[in-house]
Every structure is written in structure tokens, then in C-alpha cells.
Structure 1
Amino acid sequence: MEEITNKDHVLVLPFPMQGHINPMVQFSKRLASRGVKVTILIIESICKNMPKASGSINIESIPHDDSPPENIDKSFEWFHVLVSKTLTKIIEKLSYSEYPVKVLVYDSISTWAIDIAHQLGLKGAAFFTQSCSISAIYYHMDPEISKIPLDGSLVSLPSLPLLEKEELPSFICEIDLYPAIKELVFSQNINFKKADWLFFNTFDVLEKEVVDWMRTKYPIKTIGPTIPSMYLDKRLKEDEEYGLSLFKPNDEVCMKWLDSRETAASVVYVSFGSLATLGEIQMEELASGLMTSNCYFLWVVRATEENKLPKEFMSKLSEKGLVVKWCPQLDVLAHRAVGCFFTHCGWNSTLEALSLGVPMVAMPHWSDQPTNAKFISDVWQTGIRVKAGENGVVTRDEIAHSIREVMEEKKGIMLKENATKWKILAKEAVDEGGSSDKNIEEFVSSIM
């Protein structure tokens, strides 16, 4: 990272989950490359998995006596209580340094942070780790103010394509599940009223209609895609990987196996991220579908999911497939052997596939994933979405057919061409003078 060239200091507060920390760390690297002092606040138990700070980025550990709750609902309140006790002290300590804090960039789900920032005389910027379209849906369908009915099969919202019920975020339709998370995602709308800036991990042309609509009302800035520079513009020479991995990837095994594939674009990469879980029946159907697709496949099955694999599946793999507990996803997607990404459609994974030009088979589970899958298949046209049966399970035949459609059939050529187009546009967004690059530069200039 470049040396600090001004006295501005930005404090960054991500929610302590890998999918939230990494994009905010990447944004911090972009700020630091412009000579801004950046401090990232990370809870103590996660700090050990972070690389040491370098250049103008510092990592401040937030100590805690008890372990974070495994229950996701309870973890939000735990984090709120913990940070509320320490954030003011940290900011006050830094205010007496050579670089007093000027701006707090906080995860958009931590809406309470904006009040602390303003009370201490700081500016506050909300960082949205999901797409701009998802935020627009939550904005329009807030149950406190929304008058949009859900009794029909289609939902029409400003600046968005027509959405079927099952294409909406799950917290809207599945009203009895995850009540604490549902309340949390809609509370993000507070940011539109209070935050001084709204940062979105996306780029202008990717979500043009909704970005243009939001800009007429709020101070939004697109600053993505936030993936390491070496995979995009290569302007940040040391930015070769994310700042955090809570799972140890099988780097050497994965890359050696991919290198051994002689045919380009012959491998299906399968991963459902760090949180999604599949039932035993779905795991069996997926395993059978991969085997009968007649394609090579690299499948990430986390240690907690391994017991769901069908008996004798591993012994039948031969050289056709490789199953690992975790992998270096960016390196895998960038490998010449990979021709398709079978994905849960988490926003980070979606952006990575778009940025690296890899077509997708979409099998969403919850949260924003159904909407991301809608955009992948119908708006950006870089993939297809599998169809689940009446019991919610995607059959082995549907899985095999979808893979072959992307990998072998005529439609796959069109999907690959579209994926390549978005790869070029993603790079242009972060290149010098690109839309995201300009937005970051404008933000830095505004705080000087």
C-alpha cells in the first residue's frame, strides 16, 4: 500500500462474518492506495485469521470475554452490545493521535453505528454488502410503510424487473423464518435517512436502472466489485488475496488437479459458500447429478457437510471429480480449466464469477440469493437457474441437464459471451477513471 499522504483517517467496522469482512477490507485497500489512513475494527477471535496490517491500513482488535453465539439471530445483538461498549473509547483514543478519525464506514446492518458516529462529530458511511437491487427491494417493501400487495404472482417495483414471489429475498416471503434477521434487513432503511454516504459493492452498468433511480434520491456511491486488484485492474501490486479466510483452503490439491485437466473450460466448480447447508436428500441428488453430467467437477463440501454425502460416493469419483473442504475460489474461477460455476448465488460469489467471466448454474437457498439468481439468468444472462420439484428438492436429472446446457449446448456459447462482456465491464469500473474509481476518488476528496 502507498504511504499516508494526508491526515485523513477512516475507521471501518464490518460485521464479523467472512462475507461481510472481505469486501470492506478490499474497499479499505482502495482507500489506502490513495494515501488515506485506514483502521479496520475486527473482533479479537477473528483477528488471528487476518494477515498483519501493512502500509496505511491498521487492524484494531475488539476484545471480548465470551465467544460469539453460533445462533445467527443472537450474534447480531451480541455484536451490537460488544461494539457499543468499545467503539467510543477507540475513537476517542485515536482522536488524540496524529491521524484523528474523520469518517466511520460501517456495515449497513449495524445501523446503530451511525448514531455513535454523529454523536462523536464524525461523518458516517453505510457499506451495503448486498446488491443495490436488494436494497431497493427492502426500501420499497418495508412492512412499516409498504402498501405493495403480495397476493399476486408478480411484484412490480420502480427501476426493477418484474419479480415473481419466489424471486424476492426470502425474508420477505418466508415471514415466519428468521424474525430477528427480517427485522434487521429492513432496519437498513434507516441508513437512507441518516448516513452521509451510501456505499454499494456493485458497479454502475451492472445495475444501471436501480442505481440511476437511487441517485435521484440519496448520496449513493458504487465502489465495486471489491475483489483483489490482481484479478481486475492490477493497479494495487500487493493486493493478491482477500484479507480473511475462516476456512483453510486446499490450495495445492485444487490447483494441481485443475492443472491436470487438458481441456479448457471442462470443469464444473461447485460451491455453496460458507453458510448454506443442504439436506441429505439434496446432497444425494447433487452428487448423482454431477456424476451423470459427464463433466469433470470440483466440489467444495465443508467439513460440517461431509456426513451428508452418499455412501460409496467418494470411492466412485475416480479422476472425474475432486471433493475438498475449501478452496481458493478466485484462483479456481480464474483457472482456464473451469467452464462453469454451480453456485448458491451469494453476492460475493456472484460478483467474482461476473468479474472473471465464468457462466453460472444458479441454485439459490435464502436471503438475497433468489433475487441474484433472477438477475443472473434473466437480466445479465450469464447463467441458468435450476428448477426445484414440488418438495423443494432439485433432482439429479435437472442438475445434470442444467450443467450440460451451460457446458455443452448452444446456449452455453451465448452465456460465455455474456460472461466475458461483464468481465470487461467489471474491470473498466475499477480501472483509473472508471465509475467506481471515480466514486472512491470523490469520497476521498470530500473528506480532505
Structure 2
Amino acid sequence: MVMHSHIGVLAFPFGTHATPLLSLVQKLAASTSGVQFSFFNSSSSNEKIFSTYVSGTFDNIRAYDVWDGTPEVFSGTHFEEVQLFLDASPMNYEKAIEEAEAETGFKISCLLTDAFLWFGCNLAEKRGVPWVAFWTSASCSLSTHLYTDLIQDAVEHKGATAEQKLSFIPGMSVVNFGDVPPEVFHTQNPTSLAVTIYKMVEKLPKSTAVVLNSFEEFDPIIAKDLKSKLQQFLNVGPLILSSPTPPSSVTDQENECISWLERQKDPKSVVYISFGSVAVPPGNELVALAEALETCKLPFLWSLKHQAMKLLPEGFQERTREFGKMVSWAPQLQVLAHSSVGVFVTHCGWNSILESVCNGVPVICRPFFGDQKLNSRMIEDSWKIGLRVKGGVFTKSETINALESILSGESGEAIRKNVNKLKEKAKDAVESWGSSSKNFTTLLEILSGAKGNTRT
């Protein structure tokens, strides 16, 4: 391959941040020639995503490990791990970038980074190359962060309460101040992540482009507003509908889940439950959810870590074996695509929401942290594609009400129609004439214009 450009890709190795960024890089790699992508990420995250998303078919993508900041023996929490990683940055990335430049013989010509990695702006300026930031969540959460100063001023100096609406932010009139991600209030809640995101807010207007794994028609008012605030605001998703899917071997767990779904008699009847890779409801809520499922006798597929399964009511799995299935991991995309699945009980992470929309599956929301509470508000009151658990926690009675509303009530029919309308808009967006495809072409032009064939 004759190299024309060398793109440095900086991933944030926590939650599900790195996976959609790799999907974007795979799509870019399949759409360009003469461009080398160096993917910088922690060794554990690289090992996980490169084994799951087999990118051996892309000879122009090379993974490089960056130090994650943790000692050899580490038993801290997820949030302590994030803190150590941020403390080790950006020196860990700079070292890996130097390694990639030496190995390829070409200087980096553009930096494509997770938006959290605000120092990508400084690294790009230092090299005199473009910086493209990839925001891995919804446009609504990006909007709240960009309006941080106004939101904080309204609370600290104008007495705004948790129940008041963000009426001054375009497209956010249904959102309460209490729904805003806690990281927005970085002066009151100065966690390392809150400070990191605020630094990102200061840098994003300098970026050549901000890229999202979404589509403009999801939130057109917010998209229009963000276009006025950023040099380029490019929705290029949903990537699961348009990125090349590398071949992968089918695991026993995948076969087990899909085989079970195939045995379900009624379409759109199964309750699929998963709270992502980080969040686990407290024991009393797991019990309430289990009791609701057992009372309703609805067919369910529940993905839950083995350790958390110990918190379920004694004998629950045995008593529900005829209509329910517990697994420690499920192939979520394949599950949501199955015709027997009727509702998704979720933590409201953005990737899960997109996957649900792309498969026309309504959701029941139990948010935990970050942008999840905001997402759940938009799901129920703006997009109208699901319901929030009343009070924000699982109780037996309210969980039963939510399940019955989605699966058999009139409100469930309206919700299903709404999510299917969004599904069609998502499919249109990635067609050759669609908004996401046009934005992707713009992104390709930015990268192809970043000529960097200067040898080291």
C-alpha cells in the first residue's frame, strides 16, 4: 500500500466507548486507499474489541497499546481505574504515537480521538494537523455539556430547581434540570471525569469536526443548534447499519441464546434484560425485577453477571426455567434483531438505545449514571419510544405496569409505532442519498485532505 495519510486514532478504553470508534475506523478503512490507521487504546480494551470485531481483514488498521496507568496488581473500582488512566494521559498516548510513527516511517497527519480526550486538540496543534473528535453518546447529552455554563448559572444564581425545564436549550424543552448528567456541574462535583468533560467543552469549538454515531433525523432541532456552535457537526450513524461486519466465529453462548429465542412461540413477546458492561442494579431491585417476571410469567432472556445472580430470590431460576433464561452474556445485536423480542429493559446507554431503535424494539429504562437519566427522559417524553421505571428504581408493581403497558397496552402500540418510524429514518440516513452518508463523505474529505506523507 502506498501511504498518503497516517491517521492516529485515540480511544477511551472504558464502557463501550472504544467499540463504536473502531466501527467508524473500519468503515473509514474500507472506504479509503493509501490511508493507515493507528489505533491507540489500552491493551485490555484492544484485546477485547479486536478479538470480537475481527479486523484482520483490514491491513490498514494497526492496534497499539497505551499504558492504562494501573499497577500490575489492581483491585480498585471502575471509577478509580478511569482516574488512573486520565492521570497517565496524554504521555501514554504520546509515547505510543512516537512508536507508530517510527514503525510506519510516516508522521501522523490527523488525529481522530474520543471526544473525552480533549488533549487531542493540543497534540494536533503541536503537530499542525486536524483534530476530529468522536462523541460516543447522543446529541442531547453533548448539547447539555456545551451549555454547561448556562445550566450552572441557572442553578447557582437564578435558583433553578430540579423539576424546572431546560427551555433555553433548543430541542431540550422536555428535559428537567434534574435529568442533566452530574458531570455538567463540574464546580459542585469536581470529579476527574467532570473536569475532563469541561476541558473537552472548551476545546471542541477548535476541532475540525465533531462526529457522532447517530443520525440528524433523531434530534433535528438539536442537530441544527450544534451545527451553529461547531465548525463541522457530522452525524454518520447508525454505524451498525453501515459499517462492514468482519467474519466472526459463533460462540456457544450465542447459539444458546438464539436457539432459546427460536423456541418461543409468539412474536414480540420476550423481555430482554441487560444493563451493559458496568452497571448492576442493587440487590433489592434485582429481587423486585425477578418477582415481577415470575408473577407475569412473561418469557424473558436476562443477561446478568454470575456474581449478581446470587442476589436473586432463592429458587427463582428453577421456578422460571420453563419460560425464562438466565445468561452471563448475550449477543445483544442478534437478540434485539430476533422477531420474538418485544421489549428491552436497559440502563439507557447510547449504544443500547441505537441498537434497540435499529431493530424496532421499545425500551424500559432504569438509568444509573452519566447521560443515562437524560437519555431515559428523551426516550419517554421526546422520542416516545419507551417508558421510564417510575421513581427511577425497580419495584415489583411498577415493573409489572411497565411491562404490561409495552407488551399489551394501547400505549405500547403507540410506542412501537414510534420506534419503528425512527428505525425507518435510521435506515434512510445510511442510504447513499441519506444525511449520514453525506456527512460521512465530508469526513472522508477531511481525512483525505490531511496529507501526511512526511517521512520520519
Mark yes or no: TM-score above 0.5.
yes
Q: Tell which has more relative contact order, 1 or 2 (C-alpha 8 A, sep 6+).
A: 2
From 356, 363, 371, give the equivalent of 1:353: 356
**Alpha-carbon distance between aligned partners in 1 of 2:151 and 2:270, rounded to the nearest angstrom:** 47
Q: CA deviation at 1:275?
A: 1.0
Q: Which residue of 1 aligns with 2:424?
A: 424
Q: CA deviation at 1:105?
A: 1.1
1:340 counterpart letter in structure 2? V
The alpha-carbon deviation at position 18 of structure 1 amounts to 4.1
Question: SS of the residue aligned with 1:122?
Answer: coil
Identify unmatched segments of 5+ residues in structure 1: 243-247
Alpha-carbon distance in 2 for matches of 1:133, 1:189? 14
**1:154 aligned onto 2:164:** yes
Cα distance in 1 between the residues matched to 2:124 and 2:342: 46
Q: Which amino acid aligns with 2:97?
A: I
The range that moved more, 317-326 or 179-188, is 179-188
Q: 1:5 to 1:353 in 2, by over 3 A?
A: farther
CA distance in 1, matches of 2:213, 2:339: 26
Contact preservation (8 Å) 1:7, 1:99: no
The aligned counterpart of 2:452 is: none
CA distance in 1, matches of 2:187, 2:309: 31
Q: Which of the numbers 39, 61, 64 marks the counterpart of 1:60?
A: 64
Q: Are residues 1:71 and 2:80 paired?
A: no
Distance across 2 between alignment mates of 1:70 and 1:435: 43
212-221 vs 255-264, greater mean Cα deviation: 212-221
- Per mean C-alpha deviation after superposition, the further-off stretch among 254-263 and 151-160 is 151-160
Deviation at 1:150, TM superposition (A): 5.1
Distance 1:46 1:436 in 2: 27
SS in 2 for 1:270: strand
- 1:43 is aligned to 42
Greater alpha carbon shift after TM alignment, 67-76 vs 135-144 = 67-76
Larger mean Cα displacement after TM superposition, 218-227 or 351-360: 218-227
> 1:200-237: CA deviations, max 9, x gaps?
22210101111101111212333343443xxx25x73x
Partner in structure 2 of residue 7 of structure 1: 4
Shift of 1:11: 1.5
Residues 382-424 of structure 1, C-alpha deviations (whole Å, 9 max, x = no match)? 1111202xxx643111101111110111222211111111111
Partner residue of 2:338 out of 328, 335, 338: 335
- Residue number in structure 2 paired with 1:314: 317
The residue type equivalent to 1:183 in the other structure is V
Q: What aligned pairs does 1:29-428 form with structure 2 within 5 A after superposition? A: 29-35=26-32, 36-49=35-48, 50-51=50-51, 53-55=56-58, 56-63=60-67, 66-67=71-72, 70-95=76-101, 97=104, 100-142=107-149, 146-147=153-154, 149=158, 151-152=160-161, 153-155=163-165, 156-159=167-170, 160-172=172-184, 179-228=191-240, 232-233=241-242, 236=244, 238-239=245-246, 250-388=253-391, 393-428=393-428
Amino acid at match of 2:316: F
Structure 1 residue corresponding to 2:22, chosen from 21, 25, 31 = 25
Structure-2 change in CA distance of 1:187 and 1:76 (3 Å): farther
State the AA in 1 paired with 2:281: L
C-alpha distance in 2, partners of 1:158/1:145? 13
Q: 1:31 to 1:70 in 2, by over 3 A?
A: farther
- Cross-structure match for 2:447: 447
Shift of 1:285: 0.5
CA distance in structure 2 between the aligned counterparts of 1:113 and 1:80, rounded to whole angstroms: 13
In structure 2, relative to structure 1, the CA distance for the partners of 1:342 and 1:318 (3 Å cut) is same
Q: How many pairs were matched up?
A: 432
Taking a change above 3 Å as real, the CA distance of residues 46 and 365 of structure 1, as seen in their structure-2 partners, is closer
Are 1:53 and 1:59, in contact at CA under 8 Å, matched by a contact in 2? no
Distance 1:12 1:290 in 2: 43
Contact 2:274 2:345 (8 Å CA) reproduced: yes
Amino acid at match of 1:386: V
- TM-score, normalised to structure 1, is 0.88
- Conserved? CA contact 1:42–1:59, under 8 Å: yes
Q: State the AA in 2 paired with 1:123.
A: P
Tell whether the 8 Å contact from 2:40 to 2:96 is kept in structure 1 after alignment.
Answer: no
Residue 250 of structure 1: how far off its partner (Å): 2.2
Take 1:187 and 1:302, find their aligned partners in 2: how far apart are those partners? 35
Query: 1: distance between equivalents of 2:56 and 2:362?
Result: 35
Q: What CA distance in whole angstroms lies between the structure 1 residues aligned with 2:357 and 2:224?
A: 21
CA shift for structure 1 position 178: 7.5
- What is the root-mean-square deviation in Å for CA atoms of aligned residues? 2.7
Is the 8 Å Cα contact of residues 142 and 186 (structure 1) preserved in structure 2? no
Structure 1 pair 100–92 and aligned structure 2 pair: CA distance change class (3 A): same
CA distance in 1, matches of 2:90, 2:211: 22
Unpaired segments ≥5 residues, structure 2: 449-456
User: What's the CA shift string for 1:170-225, capped at 9, x where partnerless?
Assistant: 44579876733332333320232332221122210101111101111212333343
| TM-fit CA distance, 1:428 | 1.6
Shift, 1:42, TM fit: 1.9
| Aligned amino acid, residue 80 of structure 2 | K
